Amino acid sequence: MKRVDRVWILQSAIDYVTEGLLPEEPFENEEQRSRFETVVKDLKEYLEQVGPEQFARTTFDVGDEDLYDGEDEE
């Protein structure tokens, strides 16, 4: 999955966990939907562990997974 897609999913998941907002754009495929659901679950668990103040100060990194499969960074 391209970095831009992972960033969009992460930001959408953060918006959902903190504000209850679902993504305005539909998921392009089941992989995106599945990744979103997994990230939401993980973020909810993290929020419960650290509380809203620490969660708000946390920065997240999507990593460079797409480099292994030859996709160009756009």
Percent of residues, the chain, with pLDDT higher than 90: 73
pLDDT score for 18: 96
Phi-psi region of 23 (alpha: psi -120 to 50; beta: other; left: phi over 0): beta
pLDDT score for 74: 45
Sorting pLDDT into bands at 50, 70 and 90, what band is 73?
very low
User: What global pTM score does this model have?
Assistant: 0.82
Q: Which helix (H) or strand (E) holds 37?
A: helix 30-57
User: Does pLDDT of 30 surpass 80?
Assistant: yes
Quote the CA–CA distance of 27 and 55 in Å, as a whole number. Answer: 25
Tell me the CB-side half-sphere exposure of residue 2, using CA atoms within 13 A: 8
User: Does pLDDT of 29 surpass 90?
Assistant: yes
